[in-house]
Structure 1
Amino acid sequence: MNDPIDLFGITTSSLELISFVLAVITVVLNIRRVHWAWLFSIVSSATYGVVFYQSLLYGGAALQVVFIVVSVWGWHQWLHGGDKHDLLPVTRSSKQVLLWAGAAWAVGFVLIAGFLDHYTDTDVPYPEGFLTAGSLVGQLLLARKKVENWIVWIIVDVLYVGLFVFKGLNLTAVLYAVFVVLASIGLSTWYRHSSDKP
């Protein structure tokens, strides 16, 4: 599944293409607040984990394992995370949650980048550390149906486009450019549907 294939002038592999399709389905279902998104997230995370590992993007590969675990939790949260163990509503984050999210991103960046720099042969430890930490924050906010998850994803996805181009994962770079557009739609859609908007 890793033999190179040409897709409209973009060199990719069958596994990267499958991962691409599954990831797009995941985000579209997330925007629509359909809980089946988490199933697609689990499968696309598993396939992308292999793609990233083979590209020496160890932070990204490890992140996919974490995404699988968080997806199981997020699926449960969406279905039973409400006040009465019912469907979780879309809400905005408090200032305290945003401060914790920012702090977690910063600490995660330092720890992940340091680990990647000292214990792996990746050639992009600092960009990967920053984006891996940001992705964890975005995924946790998504699991709790916080509107601001989409802001995190916009930032992360824009930067991932450059990283994937650098690593030669051109189809995945296109995917993350699509993600920027989808995350912008998600931000607008979720804000309109949030139960606590001013």
Structure 2
Amino acid sequence: MNISLPLMWGWVTTPLELTSFLLSVITVALNIRQIHWGWMFSILSSLLYCAVFFDARLYGDSGLQVVFVLVSIWGWAQWWRHGDVSPPLVVTRLDRFGRIFSVLASLLIFAALYFFLKSATDTDVPLADSFLTAGSLAGQILLSRKKLENWYVWIVVDVLYVALYVYKNLMLTAVLYAIFVVMAIIGARTWRALCPK
């Protein structure tokens, strides 16, 4: 049953979107503070948002949530390492090769996903959906490895997501991504202070 909950300004949401919203805010707040439990909230919010996005015909974003679950499990393991055999991860910057590889891999994923969404689905936003899905995947992988640049990727992606979600009438999720922009700026400043020059 798809229950509508009234918000402000005539907006409506569903219990599923509202729960996903709350879990996502908790996730990013814990990630900024480098608390590994954030990955558990990431897994939960990703599973719920998978259904929200599928219902909105954002198939790239819906599929991305499944990938986010897998990357979150891996990220959680990366952040939880300790001891002599597996030293804990610390915040670092990408080297030149890492930046070039990240951009090229993202562009390749974007192109492949765009072709798939355009030819095999009924989405009305294949370009935006595929571009933002590729960018989100890059941001999530960089976050998993505690790379400072993840926050810069998220700032760009989240700004563009606000517009997409307004267009798709996912107003609460649009607000969430506006909050994410602010949180990503805070994350970048916080992690930059921890990162070796």
Q: TM-score range by the shorter chain?
A: over 0.9
Aligned length: 196
1:11-90 alignment, distance < 5 Å: 11-80=12-81, 84-90=85-91
In the alignment, the residues of structure 2 paired with residue 61 and residue 81 of structure 1 have an alpha-carbon distance, to the nearest angstrom, of 33
**1:95-116 per-position Cα deviation (integer Å, ceiling 9, x unaligned):** 1100000001111110001100
Change (3 A) 1:82 1:119: farther
In the alignment, the residues of structure 2 paired with residue 127 and residue 69 of structure 1 have an alpha-carbon distance, to the nearest angstrom, of 23
Identity %: 54
Over the residues paired in the alignment, what is the CA RMSD in angstroms?
1.3
One-letter amino acid of the counterpart of residue 4, structure 1: S
In the alignment, the residues of structure 2 paired with residue 109 and residue 17 of structure 1 have an alpha-carbon distance, to the nearest angstrom, of 29
Deviation at 1:11, TM superposition (A): 1.1
TM-score by length of 2: 0.96
TM-score by length of 1: 0.96
In the alignment, the residues of structure 2 paired with residue 183 and residue 34 of structure 1 have an alpha-carbon distance, to the nearest angstrom, of 16
**1:18-41 per-position Cα deviation (integer Å, ceiling 9, x unaligned):** 000000000000000000000000
One-letter amino acid of the counterpart of residue 16, structure 1: E
In the alignment, the residues of structure 2 paired with residue 138 and residue 88 of structure 1 have an alpha-carbon distance, to the nearest angstrom, of 17
Change (3 A) 1:108 1:83: farther
Change (3 A) 1:116 1:79: same
In the alignment, the residues of structure 2 paired with residue 83 and residue 108 of structure 1 have an alpha-carbon distance, to the nearest angstrom, of 36
Consecutive unaligned residues of structure 2, counting only runs of 5 or more, are none
Deviation at 1:43, TM superposition (A): 0.1
Consecutive unaligned residues of structure 1, counting only runs of 5 or more, are none
* Structure-2 residue corresponding to 1:192: 193
Structure 1 moving runs of 4+ over 6 Å: none
Change (3 A) 1:108 1:6: same
3-state SS of 2:5 partner: strand
One-letter amino acid of the counterpart of residue 152, structure 1: V
Confirm or deny: 8 A CA contact 1:82 1:89 kept in the other structure: no
